[in-house]
Chains A and B, each alone.
Chain A
């Protein structure tokens, strides 16, 4: 914001101060909303194309070249559909839920540094803010499920609440190692702490484990397919948004996608070095190159998400919660200890080996402990 304010001052010195300030506040918001809404529209297309590819079909290919205008057609269709509110629904809450589901998703974008020197708000508690706000979406989810007055909606909402609350814990703990390494909660400082060759936190043993935990939790938090129990079609119709149609339904889809996008942005910022990359420090065009780096890394995360969605089956509720509490939570605690070992070890090599060994032992032990009963040959009682 300050950078844009100074830029405006440099190019139009005659502009009144207040106007320049308002512009400096509104411009990043407009850019971020515009860019990410375009990314959202494109992403629905990319996702459907990729899923089609995985499932050996073509995906959307009717509207525009290679189906590129499909999101526009979808949007128009959903806008013109009739908006149905169930008779028994709680009207006010039923209306508020789709509105509220989008707000936290967009709020998180405020602290994601997209390019060098471009972050809408450089809060000194950026990451904490992002984590806090993204969990607030669970209330919107519950409001939708409860207000619909439909048992499938309520079941989906309760599943969603249990899931988000469970995965929030390992997610925050996985983020702690990054905060320990960077010594700050500000998203820009975290990115700057990852400078240098192999400086990205994902290249360290604790960073890699943290990255995997965080990525899994992010997928669970936004309820994407291996973890999409709140809207499992084969079990509870469409879960919490069963009773929504038209643009309210579109808002739910948008909330979910934008939440996935922002979570991807946070993951890139915390573990993959954000906008850093060769050429991101060049004087004139550095900001553009850094933006390209950010979106390239972001694309990788998105592709991982789609890939997971296309190839993994949905987990069961008990598996889902057991995975969070019995595997991810202890592992993220061990990860914090590994980070401490790294921090206090006399040399880099010692720290690397010690933390890697510690984490490897912890992973093997936890997986052993969590392994279910071995498969046995089924025995039948009433056969002969």
Chain B
């Protein structure tokens, strides 16, 4: 278990580091996918199968592909133009912020007592059922707000695309 965890963590960290240091944008994206895979692996390791599969379905199947479309619309994909050093001069600032954020989240999750609740309905069928039940009972308002937000974003995208069409 520990060996699997360490390997997976190494892969995840490697993917994350490569994603910000590589010059070629497509390579960065592939490194990011490696990172997503590592996170999905961690979810599977924690017996959160549903979250793992959702991670693959959404982040690798959809988000990575969206980023890909965005990359295809940009110039300088190979990173050969412009100055060197993708991290810029202030990399230590980024590291500091990341460390502070990680510390904050660590402290918050310790304080919230999530750990005591942890195998939350973790029976064979339980996790998915529990998530589904909670989403339409306790968390139905946030869920609906998210749905409205996403629909609004979708309609907004269509409206923007229609404008372009009309200008032509």
Contact = CB atoms under 8 A, between A and B. Distances in A.
B64 interface: yes
A161 interface: yes
Instruction: Sort chain B's interface into a size bin.
Output: 20 to 34
Interface in A107-164: 123-125, 128-129, 131-133, 135-136, 138-139, 142-143, 146, 158, 161
A219 interface: no
Contacts of A203: none
Contacts of B33: 139
Interface in B16-53: 24, 26-27, 30, 33, 49-50, 53
Contacts of B30: 93, 139, 143
B11 interface: no
B53 A124 contact: no
B65 to A, nearest CB: 6
A44 interface: no
Contacts of A129: 49, 53
A135 B26 contact: no
Contact of B26 (A138, A146, A172, A184): A146
B27 A93 contact: yes
A132 B30 CA distance: 18
Nearest to B27: A93
Nearest to A161: B65
Interface stretch (B55-63, B82-90, B98-106): B55-63
Interface string A159-171: 0010001001000
Contact of B68 (A131, A161, A168): A161
A146 B27 CA distance: 11
A15 B57 CA distance: 40
Contacts of A93: 26-27, 30
A129 B60 CA distance: 13
B14 interface: no
B50 A133 contact: no
B128 interface: yes
A186 B128 CA distance: 11
Contacts of A185: 50, 128
Q: How large is the interface on A (under 10, 10 to 19, 20 to 34, 35 or more residues)?
A: 20 to 34
Interface in B118-150: 124-125, 127-128
A168 B125 contact: no
Nearest to A96: B30
A142 B53 contact: no
Contact of B56 (A132, A172, A184, A186): A132
Nearest to A124: B124
A94 B23 CA distance: 18
B156 to A, nearest CB: 17
Given A93-B27, A146-B26, A161-B65, A132 B54 contact: yes
Given A93-B26, A128-B53, A138 B65 contact: yes
B92 interface: no
A246 B124 CA distance: 45
Interface in A173-222: 184-186
Contacts of A158: 72
Interface of A: 90, 93, 123-125, 128-129, 131-133, 135-136, 138-139, 142-143, 146, 158, 161, 165, 168, 172, 184-186
Interface of B: 24, 26-27, 30, 33, 49-50, 53-54, 56-57, 60-62, 64-65, 68-69, 72, 124-125, 127-128
Given A124-B125, A168-B62, 9 more contacts: A93-B26, A123-B49, A124-B127, A132-B54, A132-B57, A133-B56, A138-B65, A143-B30, A161-B69
